[in-house]
């Protein structure tokens, strides 16, 4: 039964800011949860001690893993090397929160780094397009681009018919922003591709083996979504699904 109360959605924080520990998340993610998902955002600190992850999840209706400037440490997906900056505390807390949410049967949503965290948590791998890649499509503006120019850069993705994203977006092709260097290599267990770029890069995934929905996109639907119907639909779906699972809090 869907609750009429606003659901509580946990939004993971980052831990490294200007070479000093902090628990911080960019306002656009929190604002999107509040404004477009009609939910209550609650920031989950990326504590180095992950033992309280299940207790955090117990107080939430759903979990949102955001984008970030850091990359996941390569050892977490079996790679020998990776590109800094890294945020080990976020890596650990993200993995613990994902595991706890899945175990508790609560929805998990991901954006950019969040999609990659979900993939790694489920046994998948990542690759970096700057490391000898032959990709036909660049997925990031030139390094050093100003923020507006960075998010103005994008490309088209093709939505896989019959997937959750297809039902949400209602379109076969979507114009998305593209602000990532890393991409999915091996797909995590139980994940299904919902969209791809023209060069085959996975742009959205959902789950088949979890009690509650898992949905993640590689682009940034939180960045000025008012002019993009499919991004607003993404947030409405986040809110609707979270309401369906409201009331399971400890």
Pick the catalytic residue from 180, 203, 222, 230.
222
Residue 44 known to be catalytic = no
What the block records as the tokens of 90 is 């976020």
Query: Domain locations in the chain?
Result: 8-244
Other CB atoms within 10 Å distance of the CB of residue 35: 14
Pick the catalytic residue from 139, 180, 220, 230.
220
**pLDDT confidence of 1, banded at 50, 70, 90?**
very low
214-229 confidence digits (pLDDT tens): 999 999 999 999 999 9
Task: State the greatest distance between any 2 C-alpha atoms of the chain, in Å, as a whole number.
Answer: 51
Say what percent of the chain tops pLDDT 70: 94
Among residues 55, 60, 61, 53, the alpha carbon closest in space to that of 97 is found at 53
Identify the helix (H) or strand (E) that includes residue 174: strand 173-177
> Mean pLDDT, the chain, as a whole number?
92
What the block records as the tokens of 52 is 């309280």
Residue 15 known to be catalytic = no
Instruction: Give the CATH fold of the 8-244 domain.
Output: Rossmann fold (3.40.50)
Q: How far apart are CA 143 and CA 47, in angstroms?
A: 30
Identify the helix (H) or strand (E) that includes residue 27: helix 27-35
Min mean pLDDT across 21-30, 135-144, 177-186 is at 135-144
Helices (H) and strands (E) in the chain, counts: 7, 13
In terms of Cβ atoms closer than 10 Å to its own Cβ (0-12, 13-18, 19+), residue 6 is middle
Residue 222 known to be catalytic = yes
pLDDT at 146: 85
96-119 confidence digits (pLDDT tens): 999 999 999 999 999 999 999 999
36-59 confidence digits (pLDDT tens): 999 999 999 999 999 999 999 999
Pick the catalytic residue from 112, 117, 180, 230.
112
């Amino acid at each position: 039964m869907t609750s009429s109360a606003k659901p509580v959605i946990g939004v993971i924080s980052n831990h490294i800011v200007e070479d000093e520990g902090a628990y911080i998340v960019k306002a656009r993610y929190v604002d999107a949860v509040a404004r477009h998902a009609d939910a209550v955002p609650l920031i989950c600190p990326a504590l180095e001690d992950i033992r309280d992850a299940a207790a955090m999840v117990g107080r939430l209706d759903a979990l949102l893993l955001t984008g970030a400037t850091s990359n996941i440490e390569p050892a977490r997906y079996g790679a020998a090397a990776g590109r800094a900056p890294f945020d080990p505390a976020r890596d650990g807390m993200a993995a613990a929160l994902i595991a706890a949410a899945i175990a508790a049967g609560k929805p998990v949503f991901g954006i950019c780094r969040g999609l990659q965290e979900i993939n790694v948590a489920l046994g998948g791998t990542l690759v970096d397009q700057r490391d000898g890649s032959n990709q036909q499509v660049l997925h990031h503006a030139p390094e050093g681009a100003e923020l507006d120019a960075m998010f103005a850069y994008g490309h088209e993705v093709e939505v896989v018919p019959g997937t959750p994203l297809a039902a949400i977006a209602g379109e076969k092709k979507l114009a998305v922003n593209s602000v990532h260097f890393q991409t999915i290599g091996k797909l995590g267990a139980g994940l299904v591709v919902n969209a791809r770029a023209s060069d085959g890069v996975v742009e959205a995934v959902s789950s088949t083996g979890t009690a509650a929905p898992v949905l993640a996109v590689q682009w940034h639907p939180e960045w000025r979504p008012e002019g993009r119907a499919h991004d607003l639909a993404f947030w409405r779906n986040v809110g609707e699904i979270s309401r369906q699972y409201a009331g399971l809090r400890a």
